[in-house]
Amino acid sequence: MNANEREIFINRFLSNLPKEPINECWNWKGTINSNGYGVLSEYGRKGKKRYAHRVSWEFHNKRSIPKRAEYHGSVIMHTCDNRKCVNPNHLVLGTQSENVRDMVKKGRMVLGCVEGVKHHRASINEDIAKGIFMMEGLYKDIAKEYKCTAAVVQGVKNRTTWKRATEGIL
């Protein structure tokens, strides 16, 4: 994006910022996507959209969101839990893991209605989940033993997945 395009983009961003008190949510006045997040099209880049809360964080902090080696990199988390909010005082830099932990802790993450082997992303069954839950050791070693990923092992061990399969196991 050249300097002129960036100026146009920033002016469009600023025109969609509400004039709210500093402590309240600033609900994005522009386009809202199907997930409830504010979005803004990049000038001259057909189909390229940016999340308004990410643009807000970068604009108000005067720096780019850092790239990270972790899966999905850095994220901008809403402390107010309002997806439309672009108030920089409600936005914090974090990792995807921190964001998921925050969502689970606050009861905002529904892990899906379909459970167990019927879930479209299931890669193990109940017996394997029980074995993983009872096994001691490093997640990566357990994953190798059961031919799954360390993320699957972590989900079972933390009881964020396969809860029913591990009920009653101490």
The per-residue pLDDT for range 22-69, each reduced to its tens digit, is 889 999 999 998 888 999 987 666 668 899 999 999 999 998 888 866
CB atoms within 10 A of CB 54: 20
In the chain, what are the domains?
3-105 (3.90.75), 116-166 (no CATH)
pTM above 0.95, yes or no: no
Q: How far apart are CA 22 and CA 26, in angstroms?
A: 8
Q: How far apart are CA 6 and CA 37, in angstroms?
A: 21
Query: pLDDT under 70 in the chain at which residues?
Result: 1, 43-47, 68-73, 107-121, 170
| Average pLDDT over all residues of the chain | 84
Q: How many CA atoms lie within 13 A of 107 on its CB side?
A: 0
